[in-house]
């Protein structure tokens, strides 16, 4: 067959199902194929892809009497329509031609489908962009814009007005929704400030500023500056803060929904202290800037003299300004800093669908002096529900390979023996701790033993710190704000789950867990600092390092108070959202001689003596030890069997009251009273009564 014949063949109509040529066929399928397909239950996909074929089959009325006649006539015509004259065999259509025709049909169908899909996609994208634009415009009208600048304070002149870095150098606008927590937004401001200062040649020796090193101030004008209370930052949303600041803002700022915030830090932290110059560090060594920062902020190796002095000066300046010409404003702020009526925003923002709710019961805690025991939850103990981050396993994997993106998940981190997971119980945030399975197989009993030992250390630490603070109050020695992370802590046991009812693919490895208050982590927060070692007190404190000096004195006092029966070591912690140093995960040594009865970190009585011996080398240079008179301090022992009332009172006592509370009251003046007897007796020379730590026989 030559080319003209092929072209003439393609110009003739044929059925696209059976390929039979029909001179007058106007539709894609012949009558027989339509009748057969209409009577069939399954229509091939290849037929449905032919344009118009599905409609032709769907519109066919198979119940009409003429359908059978049409089918018979078509069958007869099919056998003779393509016969070759002169008695030759019936012609069969070339399969190659059929493939070519089918390819042309497929291309035409594909082009139509692509055009249809493209049009639908463009329409959907346009609608999405329009919706996003409308949503962005709505949020833009609701957003509160924070313009924050950097202010510096000279620690040598705390009463002087603070200076401010030129706004052309360090000034930013950060948009925030009214529902966002102030704590989170201000943290982002501080992180951006640190990022800019790292690359600015004006600040070659500055360190990364953290929350406890700065204060936040409302600063619309130079003459209208006042500090924002920490309680307001922790407990409020941006909408609440803006509502409060409206009374101090101009109408222009209110209409623009724009607040001016000044981040105030010590001049030594921003520009570098004189210590940098003394050690020969100059502008030519800018590449060593991060090493300088680590020396200043790391208390475990070197006392952070500049940091602590700057922070103390900054707080002194804040108290002084509060009583200056803006005394009325500060008093108004103090009145308005009460807890807002709406729920407190969470410090770690996570969506509700990122949690899994699990039922649990609390262990019962039994205290007798320093002896703390935990009992399994009883059958009648009510169940509680805690929300646990469901993506903790993914965060654990990211943490293991060193990806910082794990911070966006509910996994908090991993230590030598435990890992932490973010959780919520009501409106409180917790760090849920269990043994880490990365170190090998751990039994349920070993996990529970480790958790109870840690909880005992936290409870004992809180009790001992309370007694230590009492002694300091009697001696009129001011201690830094510190506490153990035991408030609200508890040990719980999850309700066992059936495999079919498991809430997520990666359930927690153990039923028992320890829940402690969550401490915020991020680029704006200080990292965990170590103050004492596991076997000794570590490096001695510097003359201005009040935190390290107080904790070394606390260690000295513990050994004396317990008659060398117990001492907490590896004291470490970080500042919470209210600038209180929170001590967490301490270890301990005791007088227990049986190694089988001690936790793995407890090295026995020799370790207790070693801690005290190491501290006594530098005890004379510790101002807290000297003012408290620890070297000459004596204790009176109370028998725990007969002193349960004293033990109970010690747990319920308030350690924040005035030192006058601990002094004996004056006798009433009488007519014949002896004047010498009316004099107030001196403060007791011995320390508070010891309970719970009997002396060795």
Higher pLDDT, 243 or 326: 243
Nearest Cα neighbor of 547 from 527, 564, 565, 571 is: 571
DSSP 3-state of 409: coil
Q: Which of 234-248, 258-272, 294-308, 322-336 has the lowest mean pLDDT?
A: 322-336
The pLDDT tens digits of the residues spanning 528-576 come to 888 888 888 888 887 778 899 999 999 999 998 888 889 999 998 888 7
- In 10 A of CB 392, how many CB atoms? 25
Question: Residue 128: is it exposed, middle or buried by C-beta count within 10 angstroms (0-12/13-18/19+)?
Answer: exposed
Q: Which of 95-109, 295-309, 452-466, 567-581 has the lowest mean pLDDT?
A: 295-309
CA distance linking residue 697 with residue 695, whole number of Å: 6
pLDDT at 456 over 60: yes
Sign (positive/negative) of CA torsion 56, 57, 61, 64? positive
Q: Average pLDDT of 596-620?
A: 86
The pLDDT tens digits of the residues spanning 633-657 come to 877 665 544 443 443 333 333 333 3
pLDDT at 513 over 90: yes
What pLDDT, on a 0 to 100 scale, did the predictor assign at position 119?
62
The pLDDT tens digits of the residues spanning 319-362 come to 333 333 333 222 222 333 333 334 456 777 777 778 888 999 99
Q: Average pLDDT of 662-680?
A: 42
Token digits of residue 51: 């344009």
Q: What is the DSSP string of 436-470?
A: -GGGS---HHHHHHHHHHHHHHHHHHHHHHHHHHH
DSSP 3-state of 5: helix
pLDDT band per the 50, 70, 90 thresholds, residue 410 = confident
**Four-point Cα dihedral 291, 294, 300, 303, nearest 10:** 90
Higher pLDDT, 691 or 547: 547
Which residues are CB-contacts of 500 (< 8 A; sequence separation ≥ 6)?
Answer: none
Share of the chain above pLDDT 70, in %: 58
Q: Average pLDDT of 28-44?
A: 75
Q: Phi-psi bin for 194: left (phi > 0), alpha (psi -120 to 50), beta?
A: alpha
pLDDT band per the 50, 70, 90 thresholds, residue 583 = very high
CA distance linking residue 209 with residue 371, whole number of Å: 42
Question: Residue 322: is it exposed, middle or buried by C-beta count within 10 angstroms (0-12/13-18/19+)?
Answer: middle
Contact 152, 266 (CB under 8 A): yes
pLDDT band per the 50, 70, 90 thresholds, residue 483 = very high
Higher pLDDT, 470 or 185: 470
Contact 457, 373 (CB under 8 A): no
Q: Which of 11-20, 191-200, 207-216 has the lowest mean pLDDT?
A: 11-20
Beta bridge partners of 355: 389
CA distance linking residue 587 with residue 598, whole number of Å: 12
What pLDDT, on a 0 to 100 scale, did the predictor assign at position 41?
60
Which residues are CB-contacts of 492 (< 8 A; sequence separation ≥ 6)?
Answer: 360, 361, 362, 363, 377, 384, 386, 512, 513, 515
Token digits of residue 658: 């005035």
Instruction: Report CA-CA distances (Å) from 480 to 408, 543, 615, 655.
Output: 33, 15, 20, 14
CA distance linking residue 151 with residue 265, whole number of Å: 6
DSSP 3-state of 284: helix
pLDDT band per the 50, 70, 90 thresholds, residue 492 = very high
Nearest Cα neighbor of 567 from 600, 599, 536, 608 is: 608
What pLDDT, on a 0 to 100 scale, did the predictor assign at position 91?
53
CA distance linking residue 673 with residue 263, whole number of Å: 60
pLDDT band per the 50, 70, 90 thresholds, residue 464 = very high
Tell how far CA 21 is from the center of its chain. 74
Token digits of residue 358: 């699990």
- Greatest extent of the chain over all pairs of C-alpha atoms, in Å: 158
Mean residue pLDDT of the chain comes to: 70
Share of the chain above pLDDT 90, in %: 10
What pLDDT, on a 0 to 100 scale, did the predictor assign at position 128?
61
Sign (positive/negative) of CA torsion 71, 72, 75, 80? negative
Q: Average pLDDT of 658-668?
A: 36
Q: Which of 128-137, 280-289, 573-582 has the lowest mean pLDDT?
A: 280-289
Task: Name the DSSP letter for residue 558.
Answer: H
- In 10 A of CB 3, how many CB atoms? 7
Sign (positive/negative) of CA torsion 675, 679, 685, 690? positive
Nearest Cα neighbor of 490 from 421, 433, 427, 426 is: 433
């Amino acid at each position: 067959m030559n080319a003209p014949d092929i072209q003439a063949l393609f110009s003739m109509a044929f059925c696209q199902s059976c390929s039979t040529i029909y001179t007058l066929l106007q539709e894609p399928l012949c009558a027989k194929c339509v009748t057969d397909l209409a009577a069939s239950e399954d229509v091939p996909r290849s037929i449905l892809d032919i344009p118009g074929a599905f409609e032709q089959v769907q519109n066919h009325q198979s119940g009409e009497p003429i359908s059978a006649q049409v089918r018979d006539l078509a069958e007869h015509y099919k056998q003779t329509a393509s016969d070759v004259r002169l008695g030759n065999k019936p012609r069969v259509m070339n399969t190659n031609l059929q493939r070519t025709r089918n390819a042309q049909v497929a291309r035409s169908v594909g082009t139509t489908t692509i055009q249809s899909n493209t049009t639908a996609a463009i329409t959907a994208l346009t609608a999405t962009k329009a919706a996003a634009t409308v949503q962005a415009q709505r949020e833009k009208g609701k957003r509160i814009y924070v313009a924050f600048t950097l202010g510096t304070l000279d620690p040598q002149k705390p009463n002087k007005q603070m200076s401010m870095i030129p706004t052309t150098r360090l000034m930013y606008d950060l948009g925030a929704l009214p529902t966002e927590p102030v704590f989170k937004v201000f943290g982002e401001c501080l992180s951006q400030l640190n990022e800019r200062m790292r690359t600015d040649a004006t600040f070659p020796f500055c360190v990364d500023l953290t929350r406890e090193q700065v204060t936040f101030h409302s600063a619309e004008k130079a003459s209208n500056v006042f500090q924002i209370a920490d309680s307001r930052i922790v407990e409020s949303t941006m909408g609440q803060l803006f509502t409060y600041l409206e009374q101090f803002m101009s109408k222009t700022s209110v209409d623009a929904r724009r607040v001016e915030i000044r981040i105030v830090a010590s001049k030594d932290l921003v520009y570098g202290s004189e210590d940098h110059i003394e050690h020969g560090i100059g502008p030519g060594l800018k590449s060593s800037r991060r090493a300088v920062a680590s020396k200043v902020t790391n208390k475990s190796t070197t006392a952070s003299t500049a940091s602590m002095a700057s922070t103390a000066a900054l707080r002194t300046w804040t108290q002084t300004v509060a009583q200056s010409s803006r005394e009325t404003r500060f008093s108004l702020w103090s009145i308005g800093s009460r807890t807002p009526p709406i729920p407190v925003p969470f410090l770690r923002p996570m969506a509700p669908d990122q949690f899994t709710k699990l039922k649990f019961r609390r262990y019962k805690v039994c205290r007798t002096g320093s002896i703390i025991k935990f009992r399994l939850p009883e059958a009648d103990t009510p169940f509680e529900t805690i929300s646990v981050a469901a993506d903790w396993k993914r965060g654990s994997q990211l943490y293991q390979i060193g990806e910082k993106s794990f911070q966006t998940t509910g996994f908090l981190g991993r230590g030598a023996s435990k890992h932490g997971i973010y959780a919520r119980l009501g409106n409180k945030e917790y760090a849920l701790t269990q043994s880490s399975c990365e170190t090998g197989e751990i039994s349920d009993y070993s996990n529970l033993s480790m958790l109870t030992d840690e909880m005992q250390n936290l409870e004992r630490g809180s009790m001992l710190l309370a007694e230590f603070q009492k002694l300091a109050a009697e001696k009129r020695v001011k201690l830094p704000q510190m506490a153990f992370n035991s408030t609200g802590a508890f040990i719980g046991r999850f309700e066992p789950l059936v495999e079919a009812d498991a809430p997520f693919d990666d359930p927690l490895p153990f039923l028992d867990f320890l829940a402690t208050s969550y401490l915020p982590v991020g680029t704006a927060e200080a990292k965990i600092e170590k103050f004492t070692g596991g076997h000794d007190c570590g490096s001695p404190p510097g003359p201005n390092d009040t935190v390290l000096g107080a904790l070394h004195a606390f260690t000295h006092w513990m050994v004396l108070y317990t008659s060398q029966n117990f001492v907490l070591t590896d004291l470490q912690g970080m500042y919470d959202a209210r600038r209180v140093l929170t001590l967490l995960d301490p270890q301990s040594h005791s007088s227990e001689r049986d190694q089988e009865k001690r936790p793995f970190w407890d090295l026995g009585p020799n370790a207790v003596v070693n801690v005290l011996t190491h501290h006594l080398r530098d005890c004379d240079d510790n101002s807290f030890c000297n003012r408290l008179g620890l070297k000459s301090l004596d204790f009176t022992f109370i028998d725990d069997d007969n002193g349960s009332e004293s033990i109970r009172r010690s747990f319920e006592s308030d350690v924040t009251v005035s030192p006058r509370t601990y002094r004996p009251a004056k006798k009433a003046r009488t007519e014949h009273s002896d004047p010498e007897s009316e004099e107030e007796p001196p403060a007791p020379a011995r320390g508070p009564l010891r309970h719970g730590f009997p002396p060795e026989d």
